[in-house]
Amino acid sequence: MDDLEEFKEKFTAYWNGRAEGFYDLRRKELASDMHLRWLQEIESRLPQGEALSILDIGCGPGLFSCMLAGRGHTVLGIDIADEMIAEAHRLSKELNVDATFAVMDAEQPTLEPGSFDAIVTRNLTWGLPHLDQAYATWRRLLKPGGALICFDADYVHEQVSLPDVPGSADSVISDDQREAYQEFKDTLRPIQRKRPAWDVELLQKACYSDIEVDEGLWKRIYLERDELYNPSPMFAVVARA
């Protein structure tokens, strides 16, 4: 994509503008049973070990990072939006957990190869213009046998919106933000194929092994149609380095 830098600048500005609202939603998620559902989904896919080194890519306000750090793992959360990282620091301090955060491009993280037992990511990969390159780069960051755990949905091909619930993610964004979000999907649609089948192809090309797809994830997570509800059928893809 020739306008990659311009796209990323707009994308970063968009998520910076939503950082505080996302922090509020993640605090509500922590106060609900939903965070326990997510924790179970992650832990059931992690490699064996009590104290793993985990990279949370596109960490946003740090929910997964803090949850996993609270379980005794060494966690680094990265995000391209500096305001999201500021909110992640805020959350870790409030929860008194020892997670580390840094502003970094998900497609080109400046980290040492072979540093992590696992990489986790949620609702990030749909917005990466070069997902094939990202998957290949992430594999190099994993230790042999390390796991990539990706939770996402085929957002760019869908035509759904969040329910009209006060406080939901869709209800708290401005018209400009709503328009920008649609523009991102319009830009990415021509270069993305249907997911998660496309993810499997990309992961195979990047030399991952033991690739597993779970398209029923969303049914186990979103049990209530409340402000945290996501109508998009989220899937899980797990692969080993």
SS3 213: strand
167 pLDDT higher than 60:
no
Poorest-pLDDT segment among 102-111, 117-126, 223-232: 223-232
> What pLDDT band is residue 164 in, cutting at 50, 70 and 90?
low
226 pLDDT higher than 90:
no
158 pLDDT higher than 70:
yes
CATH topology of domain 4-240: Rossmann fold (3.40.50)
For the segment 190-195, the average pLDDT, to the nearest whole number, is 96
Its pTM stands at 0.94
Q: What totals of helices (H) and strands (E) does the chain contain, helices first?
A: 9, 7
In percent, how much of the chain has pLDDT > 70? Answer: 93
More confident residue, 16 or 158: 16
Instruction: Measure the CA dihedral 119/123/94/27, to 10°.
Output: -140
Per-residue tokens: 117: 């037992």
Per-residue tokens: 83: 């305001």
pLDDT recorded at residue 210 = 98
217 contacts 151 by C-beta, under 8 angstroms? yes
Which residue's structure tokens are 């049990």?
223
In one-letter notation, the amino acid at residue 76 is L
2 pLDDT higher than 60:
no
Going by C-alpha positions, the residue among 101, 76, 74, 104 that lies closest to residue 86 is 101
CA atoms of 170 and 179, how far apart (whole Å): 12
pLDDT digits (tens, 9 = 90+) for 116-150: 999 999 999 999 999 999 999 999 999 999 999 99
pLDDT digits (tens, 9 = 90+) for 23-79: 999 999 999 999 999 999 999 999 998 899 999 999 999 999 999 999 999 999 999
119 contacts 45 by C-beta, under 8 angstroms? no
CA atoms of 94 and 29, how far apart (whole Å): 15
Q: 205: phi > 0 → left, psi -120 to 50 → alpha, else beta; which? A: alpha
> What pLDDT band is residue 173 in, cutting at 50, 70 and 90?
confident
On average, the pLDDT of the chain sits at 93
pLDDT recorded at residue 225 = 86
Going by C-alpha positions, the residue among 58, 111, 120, 118 that lies closest to residue 84 is 58
Per-residue tokens: 154: 């085929």
